[in-house]
Amino acid sequence: MARRLLLVLAALVLAAAIPVCAIEVPVSAYTLRNGLRVLIHEDHSAPVVSSYVFYRSGSRNETLDQTGIAHLFEHMMFNGGKKFGPGVFDDLIEGNGGSTNGYTTKDLTAYLNNFPREALPLVLDLESDRMANLAITQQNLEQERGIVMEERRLRIDNQVVGAMSESLSLASFVRSPYRWNTVGFMDDLERITLEEARAYFHTYYAPNNAILVLAGDVEPEPTVRLVDRYFGRIPRRPPPAPVDGREPVQDGARRVTVRKAAELPALLMGWHGVGVNDPDRAPLDVVERLLADGDSSRLELDLVREHELATETAADNSWTIDPELFTIYAQAAPGKTLAAIEERIDAVLRALAEKPVPPEELAKAKTRLRADLVRSLKTVSGKANRIGFAEVVFGDHQALTRVEKEWEAVSAEDVRRVVAKYLGPNQKTVVVLDPVKPGGATQ
Amino acid sequence: MRALVALLVGLASVATAGEFRLPSVTRLTLDNGLRVVVAEQREVPLVEMQLLVGAGSAQDPKGDEGVAALTARALTRGAGERSAVELAREIESLGGEISAGAGTDATIIGAEFLAEDFARGLGLVRDVVLAPRFEKDEVRRARDDQASTILATLEQPSAVADKCYAAFLYGAHPYGRPSDGSIGTVKELGRGDVRDYYARWYHPNNAILVLVGAVSADEALAAIRQTLGGWASRPDAVPVRAAAPAPITARKVLLVDKSDATQTQIRFGNISISRSSPDYLVASVGNTILGGGFTSRLIEELRVKRSLTYSAWSMFSARLLGGDFRVGTFTKSPTTLETLQLALSVEDEFRRTPPDAKSLQKAKEYLSGQFPLRLESPEALAAKLAELEFHGLPQDELTTYQSRVRAVSAADVAAVAERDMPSTDRVAIVVVGKASEVKAPLEQAFGAVETVPAAECDSLARGPK
């Protein structure tokens, strides 16, 4: 099946100007009686398989007094079920040539294993055991609580950009659960109880709230029968309550200062964007690439090359279920001020909102988006991850094909319109890093 | 259970289950001395090129530390007919990438293009490598960028720990110096330094080109011959390398003060094997048991049993002239000493006791099972092929890897652990954290502890003052 992917892709890359064929990752899709979605992609180029179990459980499903519980759960999931006791999961995966990991975002939690194909029944056995019967014990909770607090110190408390990013969301969002960072607040991590953990598990870790993706050296029909043998008897549970991701309109800029030991000032700006299925997502994807993707993008040319105010710039239009922030980051060059940087960022956005972007520049941004999509499909693990992400976040495992058509349809006027609509000077939240020079340092 | 599975899901493939399949690899040397390695891999419509020049920061002239890195940075800022911006626009319009970076022993120019654009991509790589413009203003910009990167790195505790550990352990050896140089040396560098470095080392008889991707080997070789065949060689382009680094003979401790830290980064280790050492494979099996993957001894003792850290690892940083074995972890400030002492004792215990059969078996399965997955992407395979060529490793290294791993015994691991992992009374220990909180306990345990701010680790690599 990898061959088919290749042919379709080869057709698409002929030229950016020609209407483009779709990036296709063929998937056989099934739904078991208990609601578990099973998505299988065949790729026989190596005798390996990648499995991902996605749960529709991210920090957007948390409440303000239980922040971090979705991610804490990701950790607890490796510590034993009923058939397989504590400390067995990792041992068995690695002892059979596999590797295992998990990650949590605002929208989802994913559990992945990459392994030689003979280990497939074992992997299904382990994954179904923890879905049905995770051992939620005080010991499991306490062990992971300490580890996750250490992870928060690593990623937020002792990391300049992590701290800025947390501050940006806190200042931008008023009621959307995207307000807090996925790792959670230290107070909540210290406090979360065993009862809360049990309740969370019973709400979100159900087959009808999960998607199993298998990519690699497998045949769909026999494989889905095997999957049913392991997962088919896990009972369906009542669906979780829907999340309210609405956010009141922001009218007026907001400013926050983060004080941290740092060498260079930096700026992180955010504007309220759109959810992934909004028709304006594709034009905003293009804007992200026009602004900061490569040395010939607009912020690089203006802030780094022409005015030499910044050492690096970045832009991000997140793909999320509910509206997230469109962000721009810039690190100041030594001796340059954040005020000057912000002024230039506003000017670059104003130019995009006023003058249509030239055709070759628009084509370049689209080519970059497409090329990165191809790059994300280099490995079976990359493909499985993309398929599951599309199913959870877009609600459609074939969404990548559609996304590509949406990019192709974006016009210069769409770009102008969305910059004017979303990225205005009165809709932004600005986080400035005010560097505290480390005491005793010789700077 | 396994037999049943083979029936159910194993019908499609004829190769032995789990075995790594290497695409056919063609190797040849052009008349100008350029070594070329081509592997045809058609799973994704991309072509990956890695051109390795066998000189890096080890070849920086004294006082010009950072010039190898600056040369690499300046390569892509204008080449052939194109200015910096024109070149960037051309590469980016193709959805491609060309990047260049210097390590200690070599510089790597990496490029990736859609297979359709192979000829144009190779032409751009040629311009960057054979005809960089090194315009004065562009070299200045590259230099300012390099200086800012050095500063920004000081904000990252983990990067500071790695940098200070290298300087503290290797001292004046080239492996002790960051390839970016220091602020002091970089700000003095100019266009002349870059041109001199380039003219001295960038020649085909000091280079290896690896190409992996959806292009036929014949087509690739013909194009490479045509594009790079005229690159001029220079008899003295291959560097005379430095001697192997020498191990330290007594324990020493360095505390790097980060006054606002709530978490402490820890590293310790000593000089050990090079990449071409016959011990390398067994050492990687031993390292997997001690500090690789999610079920290692270090993870078990520091993370799982005591929740002291989010991560703990060990590794052989095995390089051309030698290398080091190191352990790394981090923990909240109050548990700094406890974590360091525990990590030391886990390493010491591992070194003194042969591994049990179960741990050994698990490590062997893990390494051989992950091997095909680790080489799945074109850039991973290209990097691995370049590594083999650069270190002069046998051509069957990849196809025999899994069987060689499976043949490793407990006695092999015990011998290599004893030989290549350091005794804990001979390690360089680096702790990056809040000195006012962690210095007293460290001094109680280890005696006098040298304390420096992060920006001063550079001076440790300059050797005796």
**Rounded Cα distance, B135 and B131, in Å:** 12
Q: Which residue of B has its CA nearest to A94?
A: B366
Is A98 within 8 Å of B370 when comparing Cβ atoms? yes
Show residues of chain B in contact with A226, CB under 8 Å. Answer: 5, 8-9
Nearest to A294 among B6, B88, B293 (CB): B88
Contact B304 A159 (CB under 8 A): no
Predicted local confidence at residue B9, as pLDDT: 33
Question: Inter-chain contact B377–A370, Cβ cutoff 8 Å?
Answer: no
- Compare CB distances from B309 to A47, A116, A150 and report the shortest one's residue: A150
Long-range CB contact pairs, A424-427, < 8 A, 24+? A424/A271, A424/A349, A424/A353, A425/A253, A425/A346, A425/A349, A426/A251, A426/A252, A426/A253, A427/A250, A427/A251, A427/A253, A427/A271, A427/A272
What pLDDT does B2 receive? 33
Statement to judge: residues A52 and A134 lie in one domain: yes
Give the pLDDT confidence of B138-195 residue by residue, as tens digits: 999 999 999 999 999 998 999 999 999 999 999 999 999 999 999 999 999 999 999 9
Give the number of A-B residue pairs with CB atoms closer than 8 Å.
257
Question: pLDDT (tens digit, 9 = 90+) per residue, A333-343?
Answer: 999 999 999 99
Residue A172 lies inside a defined structural domain of this protein: yes
A410 and A290 share one domain: yes
- A261–chain B Cβ distance below 8 A for any pair: yes
Average the pLDDT over A237-243 and give the result. 96
**Does residue A19 register a pLDDT over 60?**
no
Select from A216, A231, A246 the last residue of a domain: A231
Could you tell me if A157 lies within 8 Å of chain B, comparing CB atoms? yes
Parent domain of A162: 22-231
A150 and A263 belong to one structural domain = no
pLDDT digits (tens, 9 = 90+) for A38-88: 999 999 999 999 999 999 999 999 999 999 999 999 999 999 999 999 989
Chain-wide mean pLDDT for chain A?
92
Q: Do A145 and B307 touch (CB under 8 A)?
A: yes
Contact residues on chain B for A149, CB-CB shorter than 8 A: 332
Model pLDDT, residue B464: 43
Global pTM value = 0.92
CB-based contact, A118 to chain B, within 8 Å: yes
Residue B235 structure tokens: 């008899």
CATH of domain B252-460: 3.30.830.10
In a domain, A209, yes or no: yes
Q: Would A180 be classed as within a structural domain?
A: yes
User: Is the CATH number 3.40.50.800 carried by domain B25-228?
Assistant: no
Kindly state whether residue A402 falls inside one of the protein's structural domains.
yes
B246 to chain A, closest Cα gap in Å = 31
**Any domain includes A2:** no
| A87 contact B CB<8A | yes
Residue A14 lies in a domain: no
From chain B, the residues in CB contact with A333 under 8 A are 144, 148
Give a three-class secondary structure readout of chain A: CHHHHHHHHHHHCCCCCCCCCCCCCCCEEEECCCCCEEEEEECCCCCEEEEEEEECCCHHHCCCCCCCHHHHHHHHCCCCCCCCCCCCHHHHHHHCCCEEEEEECCCCEEEEEEEEHHHHHHHHHHHHHHHHHCCCCHHHHHHHHHHHHHHHHHHHHCCHHHHHHHHHHHHHCCCCHHHCCCCCCHHHHHHCCHHHHHHHHHHHCCHHHEEEEEEECCCHHHHHHHHHHHHCCCCCCCCCCCCCCCCCCCCCCEEEEEEEECCCCEEEEEEECCCCCCCCHHHHHHHHHHHCCCCCCHHHHHHHHHCCCEEEEEEEECCCCCCCEEEEEEEECCCCCHHHHHHHHHHHHHHHHHCCCCHHHHHHHHHHHHHHHHHCCCCHHHHHHHHHHHHHHHCCCCHHHHHHHHHHHCCHHHHHHHHHHHCCCCCEEEEEEEEECCCCCCC
B330 touches chain A (CB under 8 A): yes
Task: Write out the residue limits of the CATH 3.30.830.10 domain(s) in chain B.
Answer: 25-228, 252-460
Residue B366 with chain A: CB contacts under 8 Å: 94-95, 97-99
Selected for mutation to probe chain B from A88, A226, A296, A357 (highest B CB count within 10 Å) is A296
Q: Give the residue from chain B lying closest to A102, CA to CA.
A: B294
Task: Provide the pLDDT for residue A319.
Answer: 97
Nearest to B307 among A121, A147, A153 (CB): A147
Give B 439-458 residues with CB within 8 A of chain A.
453-456
Looking at chain B from residue 48 to 107, which residues have their Cβ under 8 Å from any Cβ of chain A? 84-85, 88-89, 91-96
Q: For all residues of chain B together, what is the average pLDDT?
A: 93
| pLDDT tier at B461, thresholds 50, 70, 90 | confident
Cβ–Cβ of B96/A371 closer than 8 Å?
A: yes
**In terms of domains, do A261 and A361 share one?**
yes
pLDDT single digits (tens) A290-318: 999 999 999 999 999 999 999 999 999 99
A residues 321-380 lying closer than 8 A (beta carbon) to B:
331, 333-334, 360, 363-364, 367-368, 370-372, 374-375, 377-380
Question: What CATH number does the domain containing A32 carry?
Answer: 3.30.830.10
From chain A, the residues in CB contact with B378 under 8 A are 378
What is the rounded CA–CA span in Å between residue B125 and residue B127?
A: 5
- The answer to whether the Cβ–Cβ distance between B308 and A146 falls below 8 Å is yes
Co-location of A269 and A227 in the same domain: no
Chain A CB within 8 Å of residue B157 CB:
yes
CB B108 within 8 A of CB B139: no
Query: Which one of B376, B377, B432, B434 would you mutate to disrupt binding with A, by most A Cβ within 10 Å of its Cβ?
Result: B376
Q: Which residues of B touch A332 (CB under 8 A)?
A: none
pLDDT bucket at A22, cuts 50 / 70 / 90: low
User: What residues in A contact B10, CB-CB < 8 Å?
Assistant: 117-118
Contacts of B363 in chain A (CB under 8 A): 94
Q: Which two tokens stand for residue B401?
A: 């890897």
Tokens of A182: 């996925």
Q: Is B373–A46 a contact, with Cβ atoms under 8 angstroms apart?
A: yes
Question: A26 and A117 share a domain?
Answer: yes
The pLDDT assigned to B462 comes to 64
Give the number of domains in chain A.
Answer: 2
B106-144 pLDDT, tens digit per residue, is: 999 999 999 999 999 999 999 999 999 999 999 999 999
Tell me: do A222 and A276 sit in the same domain. no
A260 and A353 within one domain:
yes
**pLDDT class of B12 with cuts at 50, 70, 90:** very low
Which chain A residue shows the shortest CA-CA distance from B357?
Answer: A95
Amino acid identity for residue B193 in this structure: D
pLDDT at A307: 98
Do B376 and A367 count as a contact with CB atoms less than 8 A apart?
no
Are both A50 and A188 inside the same structural domain?
yes
**Does one domain contain both A213 and A293?**
no
Q: What is the pLDDT of residues B192-249, one digit of tens each?
A: 999 999 999 999 999 999 999 999 999 999 999 999 999 999 999 999 999 999 999 9
A207 lies in the same domain as A329: no
Q: Please tell me whether residues A280 and A382 are part of one structural domain.
A: yes
